[in-house]
A and B are shown apart, each in its own frame.
Chain A
Amino acid sequence: ETGVTQSPTHLIKTRGQQVTLRCSSQSGHNTVSWYQQALGQGPQFIFQYYREEENGRGNFPPRFSGLQFPNYSSELNVNALELDDSALYLCASSTTGSTGYTFGSGTRLTVV
C-alpha cells in the first residue's frame, strides 16, 4: 500500500508567478485535502476534493484553486504569488472522515 506522495519537495518562485503542486493519494482513498502550514503554526485548511468535486473550502482567496483527477490524484494551483504564500503545503487523503487522514511529506514553497 503506497502512501501519499507530493511533488516537488521544494520550490522557489518569484512574486507574481504561478505554481502547481501535485499530490497522489493513498491507494483506496477518494478524498484529498490541502493545507497550508506557515512556520510555527498549525496546518490551515485550503480546500477538499471528493470524487473530483470541491467539497469544502477554507478562508483562502480564489487565486488558490485545485483539481482532482479520476484516479483521485490532485493539484493545487496558486496564481499571482505573494511573499506570504511561502509555507509548507500539505496534502492529505482519506476515504471518509471517520477513517482518519494520511498526510504526504509536503512541498516547501518559497516566494522571493
Chain B
Amino acid sequence: KQEVTQIPAALSVPEGENLVLNCSFTDSAIYNLQWFRQDPGKGLTSLLLIQSSQREQTSGRLNASLDKSSGRSTLYIAASQPGDSATYLCAVTSGGSYIPTFGRGTSLIVHP
C-alpha cells in the first residue's frame, strides 16, 4: 500500500525567501506525481504533474523534481510571496489503479 509523507507539516517564512517542500512515498512503482495547492476550505488546484519518466517540471516560480529510486519529490518555490500562502499537497498515482494517494500537506504562510 502506497504511503505518502510530507515534511514539514507547517512553514512560516518572510516574503522573498526560496522554499523547498518535501514529499516522500514508499512504493517507487509510480505512474506520476502531482502537486496541488489548496486554499482554506477550497478545492485543489493542480500546480505541476510529473510523469514517472520525467525528472522535473517547471511553471513560473515553481519547480518540482522527482527521484523515483529514493521515493522523493521536492517542490521548490522561488521568491515567495504572501499570495503563495496555502496548503500544498502531494499526490502519487501508482499500483495499476490510477488512484492518487495524498499526503497530509504542508501549510505555508508567507508574511510580508
Contacts and interface: CB of A to CB of B under 8 A. Distances in A.
Contacts of A35: 102
Given A97-B93, A100-B32, A100-B49, A105 B42 contact: yes
**SS of B interface (majority):** strand
A7 interface: no
Interface residue tally on B, bucketed by range: 20 to 34
Contacts of A55: 97
B43 A104 contact: yes
B104 to A, nearest CB: 4
Interface string B77-112: 000000000000101010001111111110000000
Contacts of B49: 99-100
Given A42-B103, A97-B31, A98-B31, A105 B97 contact: no
B32 A106 contact: no
Given A42-B103, A43-B102, A88-B41, A100 B89 contact: no
Interface of B: 4, 31-32, 34, 36, 41-46, 49, 51, 89, 91, 93, 97-105
7 pairs of A and B residues whose beta carbons are closest in the complex: A97-B98, A42-B102, A105-B43, A103-B44, A100-B49, A42-B104, A106-B43
